Structure formats: structure tokens, C-alpha cells
Amino acid sequence: MRKLTTTVVAVSAVALTLSACGRAEQTSTSTQSSGGSAAAKGFDQGALIGVALPKKTSENWVLAENIFKKDMTDAGFKVDVQFANNGVAEQQNQIQTMVTKGAKVLIVGALDGSQLGTQLQAAKQQGVTVIAYDRLLTNTQAVDYYVAFDNFKVGVLQGNALLEGLKAKKPNGPYNVELIAGSPDDANSKVFFDGAMSVLQPKIKDGTLKVVSGQTSFQQVVTQDWKAENVQKRMDNVLAAHYASVPLDGVLSPNDTLARAAMTSVKQAGKPTPVVTGQDSEVESVKSIMAGEQYSTINKDTRKLVAAAIDMTKQLQKGEKVTVNDEKSYNNGVKVVPANLLEPVIVTKANAKEAYANDPTLSALVK
């Protein structure tokens, strides 16, 4: 497992497009960690658990909300789930309120993981255990655990899928491609991008891939707030400026919403659909994959990610050691955060039926 250093934190730390919450398989190897001081104490089973989520930029965040409410309640906890649809200040206030109301555990899917340090420190002073959910909380000591899919691997899978899709469509390169990254305030965005570029950069260097626009750095290709309209506007400009007389063969997209926006731009420009990656297994993108349009997505099962967070909460409630499987990789700029990582799975039309066999919604789309 790679070590994520401070230079890539706010970014190179990991995990919910939106971006990126999603649907997949949990890693099998695990170790135990005592983590924060609250782990050894335990608390009443009917205690309040605060769940702070970002904006509703993906259907998977909405799914997470519903599962947290039901499954936390079924486990005997009181639960307060809040979205920060109005920005970072709202999430800061929501966390403060949860602590004031007596939450014993905070599960935080950060809107911007670098801007919650004051609120999280206040929570720790009240004995609250803090779990970073899907997106790492950065530049703060006040985080005990991290639960997420392995998001660097997500990027690696996306990069490999792009290359495989290009080769399947046209056996020999070079290939003209464009790159898209997620929102710069989401710690996962740079992780996805770095994972993909670990695969793609050598191919750019040897000429197999040509980024015709010349936009190859993370800062050049970010998408503020993960908004589809931002990608579509950028792709409209790129196509008009650089693809009047050459084909666009492929697009690296970090999630499904942005993938569909890129394809809309290409379609409106009157060009053939390129090979496009994605993530989150959104319903419309799964339909698109089965129709032979979008090439790939990533299966990151939100149900399993929420279940892992709830399992951590149950262990904390009982005063048990919390199960983690990585205690080295996730340096948030101040500390290495013990992590429980789940395994992402690449999905194309070829393996969609197998990948979604246990998903009641998506399995119906891939028969």
C-alpha cells in the first residue's frame, strides 16, 4: 500500500463524489486498532450518533442517508443525519449542534475535509469519537478512524479501463484523450486522479495517448463542486478549440455524473461517443453502459460502506477495539489515520451482471 504524504493531503488522502460514495467488496485482511481514547470506554446503546454528509451531488449520498437512518435505528442508536447543501459553514454548524446534543460518535463525510478542524477538536474535547467517512479529514489530530473504499485503486482501475476500452475500439494508437478530475475541495479528487495518472502518464510520455488540449495537470482539469454543467462547459470549449478536425477517442472521468456530462457535450458537437470511464454505478450510467455508450464505472457498494461505519460504531459502543486493515497509508497532514478499506470493482458491460448480482436495483438493469 502506498504512503500518502502531506503534499497530497487535501487531495492525496482518500475517499464521495460526490463523488464518490458508491457500491463493492470489502477487503479480507484486517488488523485491530484501539484508535481514540473513547474506544476503550464504551457508551449507552441508545446514544446519539451524528452523521454529517456533504451536498447531495450523487444518488449514492442520498442512499447513504437512507441506510444510515434505518440501520442505525435498527441497531438501537439514535441518529441525526444532516447534509451540508449550503456549504462548509453549514456543515461546521451541524457538527457543533450534534456535539451539543450529546453525540457519542461523529461520522463525517466532509464537504471540505480541511475546514472542520475547530469543530472536530471541540468534539474530541467532549469525548466524541470521530470517523471520517468516504473522504479523509485533513490537517487535524481530531480524527480517530477512516472508513472508505481504496480510492487510489479506484483511479488505477479507471486508468486501466480507459486503456482497455481504447484498445478494444481501435487496436493501435495513438489515441486522443481528455482528462477530467473532481472538485478540488474534495480530498478524494486528487487521489482518484493520481491513481489514474499512475497508469496513464507513462502512455502520455511514450506517445500512446495524446491530450490534445494540453490540459494534463490536476488543477487544469478540476470540476468545482462536481457539477455536471461545469464539465459540459469545459468540454464544449475543448472540443471547439482542439477537435474540429481530429477525433476524440477517450475521456477519463472520475464519476458517472461527469461522464454523462462529457458524453452530452460530445454528442452535441456531432462527434462519435468516445471511451468514457466513471464511478458510483449510478442508474443512468449503468443503463448507458448496457446500451454500449459509457464504457465503465466503479462498483462501490454504499450499503457495505455504511455497514462498515455502523460496525465501527457498534465496536465503540461496546468498548471494543475497532477493526481496521491499514494503519500506514493515510497521512492527513498531521497524523496517520487508521483505516478500514473496502475493495472497489471495475464494471463494464462484460461483467455487469456478475458485479451487480446482489444489488436489487442494478441487477434488474443488466439482465
Q: Is the N-terminal amide bond of 54 cis, ω within 30° of 0? A: no
- 117 and 191 in a single domain? The answer is no
Q: Which of 277, 279, 340, 338 is nearest to 304 (CA)?
A: 340
CA angle (226, 360, 285) in 5-degree steps: 35
Q: How confident is residue 58, by pLDDT bands cut at 50, 70 and 90?
A: confident
- 132 and 177 in a single domain? The answer is no
- 194 and 95 in a single domain? The answer is no
- 267 and 327 in a single domain? The answer is no
Other Cβ atoms closer than 10 A to 334? 16
Over residues 41-59, mean pLDDT: 91
Determine the structural domain holding residue 171 and report its residue range.
152-299
Question: What pLDDT score does 38 carry?
Answer: 44
Question: What pLDDT score does 40 carry?
Answer: 54
Whether 119 maps to a domain, the answer reads yes
Question: What pLDDT score does 34 carry?
Answer: 41
- 268 and 304 in a single domain? The answer is no
- 254 and 140 in a single domain? The answer is no
- 128 and 196 in a single domain? The answer is no
Q: Which residues pair with 19 in a beta bridge?
A: 17
Whether 186 maps to a domain, the answer reads yes
- 38 and 146 in a single domain? The answer is yes
- 185 and 282 in a single domain? The answer is yes
Whether 270 maps to a domain, the answer reads yes
Does this model's pTM top 0.85?
no
Distance CA 126, CA 51 (A): 17
- 309 and 290 in a single domain? The answer is no
Please report, for residues 167, 169, 318, 347, 366, the alpha-carbon distance to residue 294 in angstroms, rounded to integers and kept in the order given.
15, 13, 45, 11, 14
CATH number at residue 90: 3.40.50.2300
Q: How confident is residue 322, by pLDDT bands cut at 50, 70 and 90?
A: very high
Question: What pLDDT score does 228 carry?
Answer: 96
- 15 and 139 in a single domain? The answer is yes
Per-residue pLDDT tens digits for 240-297: 999 999 999 999 999 999 999 999 999 999 999 999 999 999 999 999 999 999 999 9
Q: Which of 268, 299, 330 is the last residue of a domain?
A: 299
Rounded mean pLDDT of the chain? 90
Whether 360 maps to a domain, the answer reads no
- 12 and 64 in a single domain? The answer is yes
Whether 361 maps to a domain, the answer reads no
Whether 355 maps to a domain, the answer reads no
Give the number of domains in the chain: 2
Whether 367 maps to a domain, the answer reads no
Per-residue pLDDT tens digits for 152-198: 999 999 999 999 999 999 999 999 999 999 999 898 999 999 999 99
Whether 16 maps to a domain, the answer reads yes
